[in-house]
Structure 1
Amino acid sequence: MPIVVRLDVELARRKIGVGEFAEQVGLTPANLAVLKNGRARAIRFSTLEAICRVLECQPGDLLEWVEEE
């Protein structure tokens, strides 16, 4: 998939655990894992907004487009 989710990098930089982060954002740990591991097919803007609010970042800090080989 040409969109890479860099959520794990941002969580590690801020030293936030997945369980704590899921609670702050309002997601289940299972849904957060799907997103974090790049298996999500879509994300709601409200979820992206909540993630950016908690991490104090921009959507571009979390998502990266890479060309497929």
Structure 2
Amino acid sequence: MTSTTVRPDLDLTHARWQSGTQGMGDVEIAFIEGYIAMRNGGTPEVPAVIFTPGEWNAFVLGARDGRFDLT
């Protein structure tokens, strides 16, 4: 049995996008209605990826652990 999280149709029009403090890449995030949205700031017209807080935590911990290092 698989579990899926239903994402609300979030209106990101007025989201306050934040970019990384280290200036690496174009990744931007916004905290909106209890979710975390992530997008490529260089192409903001492309839909954002929406995370629940638990998913965001797992993503950040995985990134810190080097799980997404493609080099």
Structure richer in strand, relative to its length: 2
Instruction: Tell which has more relative contact order, 1 or 2 (C-alpha 8 A, sep 6+).
Output: 1
Q: TM-score, normalised by structure 2?
A: 0.27
